[in-house]
Structure 1
Amino acid sequence: MLGTIEFCLYKFATYVAADKFAEKRISVFRKAGLSIERCTGILEDRPEGRLVWFHARDLHSAKPLLELITQLNYQELGLSFLVTTRRAEQTDDFVPLLPENTVHQFLPVDLKVPMTAFLNHWLPDVAVISEGEFWPRMLNKLTVRKVPLIAVNTKMKDKVYRNWLWLPGLAKKVLNTFDLILVQDQFVASRLKRLGAKTTKIRVAGVLAETPKLLNFDESLHSSMSAKIGSRSVWLSAATNRNEEDVIVNAHKIAMRRNRRLLLILHTREKGRGAYIAERHQNKNLTFSFQEKGGVIDDATDVFVSEDVDELATYLQLAPVTFCGGTLSDGQSIDPFHPAAAGSAIIHGPSYGDHRETYTRYNEAEATRQVSNGGELANTLTETIGPDVAAMLAHKAWEISSEGGEVSGTVISEILEKLADGAQTDAAT
């Protein structure tokens, strides 16, 4: 139970300004086109039995939590699940993603009356809080009720960290309400320790992220193409934007000065690009082969052009190095998870599009190489195509791509352990 002077001041301040907080919340919901009633977070009936509550800042951050729920459903323990988010946003596309036995609600503002009503209604048996959504009154009430608390994907951005430093007593109490705090790296762990979190409660586990669906892999095609490629070095430009095609071919030509037998698999985002690409580069003494015309790779092939999305997984497996197309133009790139999961070293440009968070994780782990233009791409490709460098980068990227599964296992084990402890306590009373 939180008992610091700072927490008392927090309760007093939120009590005095309760009406303003409530009015602001209602205004935000109205602007988002949401009914005022949804502010309460108690529009659905609580199902019977044990309930696990997952909370995230917004719908995007909540998606990785849905995979945990799906895995918990496989356990067939008769559990029900509540997913809450704080940001006011339309849920039409999110609700269909909810696994079985799961409802979504919006978290009420951290004021006495709405938060008490919310917790009295849902009575969670375990609470999993994502991305540092540490609301003091909420956590205090959960602690009083002896609800086990697990923090996942815990973040501590500079501004938030500086704010907590001004409230050391409250920060320490809030952090130590948790039974387990999972963080991405030692940097976040060190900040939490400085704020007073017990070392025994912190575990560096990586990021719990939404796992993209694996691409379809054609084993027969892989065997056939692998035999034709033989011992040649090969690299892939995946989902290439038409504005990048010349950059890719020029970089390949430069890299061939160091490795004459280097093969490029140029996978285009648009159909019918092969003939245009070959025509524009007919003076470069390059031999092209086109998948769309039934072409195959032979010893003379320098560039194999394909537009087939269904064969991308095969190309990723064949190429020790992959350039993520779109990252040097409009940012409409493939998820770096796919080359990482295939064991291919990743090169990319500065435009991340919808995958900014994922690329940032890989960059921070030094698991990719970023380039800004064609010249840098050619140089980086030449450096990376060597087996030692490619293998090192690919291994780092693979570790990032697979860490989500390890975090999931840790969280699920912890949830099941807390539920078992709760069942034993109930049986003893």
Structure 2
Amino acid sequence: MFPFQATASLALWLHLRRRAALASGPVAPIGAPPGEGPLLMVHLSENAEDPPQLGPLIRALLARRPGMRFAFTGAPPPPGALPTDLRAVALPRPRDPAAVREVIGALQPRALLILGDQLPASLISGMAEQGLPVILCEARLVAYTRRGSWRGAINRGLMGRITRILAPDPTAAAAARQLGAAPDRIELTGPITETRPPLAANEAERRALAQILAGRHIWLAACPSLPEAHAALAAHQAALHHNHRALLILAGLPAETISEIRAEAEALGLAAVLRSDDEDPSLDDHVLIAEDTHEMGLWYRLAPVCFMGGTLLPGPGLAPRHPFEPAALGSAIIHGPLTEAHGPEWVQLDGASAARLVADAAALTRAVADLSAPDQSAMLAGNAWSVSTGGAAVLRRIADTVIEAMENTR
């Protein structure tokens, strides 16, 4: 055993001895959930600001092994996240070795799945002592690599007892290696992301409009605020200097903003047509104003480029749309820095070079011009599609790893 491994083992042993000395007494009786299926313990990090997507993961596990049972520790599952008929119990996190032994004896789990940035020492060690697999998922671990030397030694000792580490990104994988995890136990899966079915559209209407608009460069501003609608009109006026057949679709606008937007288009010399007038845009029209949001799936399909409103300039407007909507339908995405409404999804898209971030109206104009080039917009759209649909593959991989570990137990 290398010196640092011996130090880690000693630090963890002393930590667990201290936990045992501070034990508060016997654990309350624990009842296992009904059924005969294998039981998985799931620890949810009590430190998570953005809890992982628990519901989709549980459903992915049940799809592989109907009848599975679950025991949740740590943070309570988010309300409404779990299937209503799930066979599961929730219990406080056992904090000392004796409590862990009682929990394992009562529940007879086949594996422990840890979701998020928390390493429950007694639980990890107790499962490992019983030869039960421990799988760590959705943990970035960066904070753990910054701990002091003694606490860092405890964490290294814990990492040595984790069977598999499913890292959400390369930074997390590097942090796991820095904490002493064996490289062959680490797999880069990507993060668990929300998967959303593509928005529906009337296919006959899409075909008819695609024929009418054939050969025109189309871009969409989805639910822009009033200042963003003005910026989009200015960007479109500039785009017409290079492509006189370009068409801007302004979709998802509050009724009270329509008259001002039409007046601004007229002042800029842009011919605008209202979707509610049931008129298709002609070659002489520059802007299509589609006030309602019920056809958003249609506009995403027709527009190779989409600016996501509510992300650049605050003001009157509808709520920002989810960025995976255009991503799933092949539209290259432009957005501003106001991403609080869907923060995790924007981080994923930006990190994968799957969206174009703009800081102001002038940058929006440049981005619209740049993405009129088909190769540029296609690259962004392809990356965005991979991010928006990759969540399902990540869920399958995590479920496969957990099921395989459980089947190899005992």
TM superposition score category, shorter chain reference: 0.7 to 0.9
- Aligned partner of 2:387 in structure 1 is 400
Are 1:136 and 2:141 an aligned pair?
no
What are the equivalent positions in structure 2 for 1:329-368 lying under 5 Å apart? 329-330=313-314, 332-368=319-355
Contact 1:236 1:315 (8 Å CA) reproduced = yes
Q: 2:28 & 2:202 partners in 1: Cα distance?
A: 47
Amino acid at match of 1:362: L
Q: 1:112 deviation in Å? A: 4.2
| Greater Cα shift, 323-332 or 297-306 | 323-332
Contact 1:53 1:82 (8 Å CA) reproduced = yes
- Aligned partner of 2:58 in structure 1 is 69
1:111-142 residue CA offsets vs partner (Å, 9 max, x unmatched): 44554554444332222211232111110011
Q: 1:322 deviation in Å? A: 0.8
Q: 1:313 and 1:82, CA in 2 relative to 1: closer, same or farther beyond 3 A?
A: farther
Contact 1:238 1:268 (8 Å CA) reproduced = yes
- Aligned partner of 1:98 in structure 2 is 83
Partner of 1:150, secondary structure, is strand
Q: 1:76 and 1:414, CA in 2 relative to 1: closer, same or farther beyond 3 A?
A: closer
Q: 1:278 deviation in Å? A: 0.6
Are 1:261 and 2:248 an aligned pair?
no
Identity of aligned residues (%): 23
Partner of 1:230, secondary structure, is coil
Partner of 1:350, secondary structure, is coil
- Aligned partner of 1:35 in structure 2 is none
Q: 2:277 & 2:28 partners in 1: Cα distance?
A: 57
Q: 2:281 & 2:256 partners in 1: Cα distance?
A: 18
Amino acid at match of 2:350: N
1:306-352 residue CA offsets vs partner (Å, 9 max, x unmatched): 12222111111111111111001359422211111111111101011
Q: 1:255 & 1:165 partners in 2: Cα distance?
A: 58
Partner of 1:4, secondary structure, is helix
Partner of 2:162, secondary structure, is coil
> Given the two structures, how large is their TM-score scaled by the length of structure 1?
0.84
Are 1:52 and 2:40 an aligned pair?
yes
Are 1:194 and 2:178 an aligned pair?
yes
Q: 1:172 & 1:63 partners in 2: Cα distance?
A: 24
Q: 1:76 and 1:252, CA in 2 relative to 1: closer, same or farther beyond 3 A?
A: same
Q: 1:200 deviation in Å? A: 0.6
- Aligned partner of 1:80 in structure 2 is 69
- Aligned partner of 1:26 in structure 2 is none
Amino acid at match of 1:257: H
Are 1:172 and 2:156 an aligned pair?
yes
Q: Greater RCO between the two (CA within 8 Å, min separation 6)? A: 2
Q: 2:321 & 2:87 partners in 1: Cα distance?
A: 30
Are 1:229 and 2:213 an aligned pair?
yes
Q: 1:400 & 1:328 partners in 2: Cα distance?
A: 22
Q: 1:119 & 1:271 partners in 2: Cα distance?
A: 60
Contact 1:73 1:100 (8 Å CA) reproduced = no
Q: Provide the aligned length of Structure 1 versus Structure 2.
A: 399
What are the equivalent positions in structure 2 for 1:186-335 lying under 5 Å apart? 186-271=170-255, 273-330=257-314, 332-335=319-322
Contact 1:14 1:111 (8 Å CA) reproduced = yes
Q: 2:239 & 2:23 partners in 1: Cα distance?
A: 65
Q: 1:126 and 1:98, CA in 2 relative to 1: closer, same or farther beyond 3 A?
A: same
For the aligned residues, what is the CA RMSD? Answer: 2.9
Contact 2:68 2:87 (8 Å CA) reproduced = no
1:382-420 residue CA offsets vs partner (Å, 9 max, x unmatched): 112211111111111122122212211211222222233
| Greater Cα shift, 383-392 or 66-75 | 66-75
Partner of 1:310, secondary structure, is coil
Q: 1:283 and 1:409, CA in 2 relative to 1: closer, same or farther beyond 3 A?
A: same
Are 1:149 and 2:134 an aligned pair?
yes
Amino acid at match of 2:117: G
Contact 2:54 2:81 (8 Å CA) reproduced = no
Q: 1:152 and 1:76, CA in 2 relative to 1: closer, same or farther beyond 3 A?
A: closer
Contact 2:11 2:150 (8 Å CA) reproduced = no
Q: 2:148 & 2:349 partners in 1: Cα distance?
A: 28
Q: In the alignment, which of 417, 424, 427 is matched to residue 404 of structure 2?
A: 417
Q: 1:12 deviation in Å? A: 4.4
Amino acid at match of 1:227: Q
Are 1:5 and 2:10 an aligned pair?
yes
Q: 1:18 and 1:79, CA in 2 relative to 1: closer, same or farther beyond 3 A?
A: closer
Q: 1:242 and 1:196, CA in 2 relative to 1: closer, same or farther beyond 3 A?
A: same
1:163-185 residue CA offsets vs partner (Å, 9 max, x unmatched): 17654543333123222211122
1:169-204 residue CA offsets vs partner (Å, 9 max, x unmatched): 433331232222111222221221122111111111
Q: 1:257 & 1:346 partners in 2: Cα distance?
A: 22
Q: 1:356 deviation in Å? A: 0.9
Partner of 2:408, secondary structure, is helix
Q: 1:44 & 1:276 partners in 2: Cα distance?
A: 64
Contact 2:96 2:122 (8 Å CA) reproduced = yes
